[in-house]
Amino acid sequence: MLKKLDLNTIALAKEYNQKMVFSYLETNPRFEIGDWWKEEELPFDLSQFGEFKTIAVEVGFGFGEFLFSNALIEKETLFVGIEKYGEGLRKLIDRIKKTNINNIIPLCGDAYVIMQVFFADKSTDKIYVNFPDPWPKKRHQKRRILTEEFFKLAERKLKDNGILYFATDDPVLMEFSQSEIKKVPELKNMCHPDKYLLNSPYRVRTRYENKWIKEHKQLFYFVYGKIDASHKI
């Protein structure tokens, strides 16, 4: 458990703004399978990994390209990735090991559970959900992530002035997510007066995003925040 690490080492890391992620990867074998958080005191105190200006979360990071590329660019942001499947987690862990990058925290498990218990309320600055499974069949629609329940949860975990980003390539999911987020008035549409953006607001792209752009497929990007709707992104 992280709290059992040498406290002097943690104090020195904070003093010199060093990041503890890679050190923890070396000392806790459960970090590699993503369930280390189950042994921690929750909600988790992310400051134990160092002092970061921004906390960003990606829900469903796939193989981790978006998360990893952003972490390379934004050194003062701690990126926390949530992924249900082990293959994507292993690929991201391999990247962390090869580069010693110190601002990515990978978590494996159900996104709803992790969002509920791992993060304190008002603890995150940005939340990303990039191109989730649209679950087009009616009997599978209850599996969709972009629901009123998730949007309420995201709003609770965001700090004041925090931003929620989500994107889809599926027109049906686009309409569905719009109808669901309207039920959470605390989140304001930052694309106003437009409903969404047709061009990416991101600095980097996901694997599938690049593929769909090459195929000239229409993509839909949403930006919502816990701030006045008159503000622009």
User: How do the domains of the chain map onto residue ranges?
Assistant: 2-225
pLDDT tens-digit series, residues 92-150: 999 998 988 889 999 999 999 999 999 999 999 999 999 999 988 888 888 999 999 99
Nearest alpha-carbon partner for 114 in 51, 35, 32? 35
For helices 171-181 and 148-157, give the axis angle rounded to 10 degrees. 60
- What is the pTM (predicted TM-score) of this model? 0.88
CA–CA gap between residue 107 and residue 83 (Å, rounded): 6
Q: Which residues contact 114 (CB under 8 A, 6 or more apart)?
A: 37, 82, 107
The tens digit of pLDDT for each residue in 12-50 reads 444 434 446 666 666 777 888 889 999 899 999 998 888
- CATH code given to domain 2-225: 3.40.50.150
DSSP bridge pairs for 57: 80, 127
In the predicted structure, residue 4 carries a pLDDT above the cut 80: no
Whether 104 and 75 have beta carbons less than 8 Å apart is answered as no
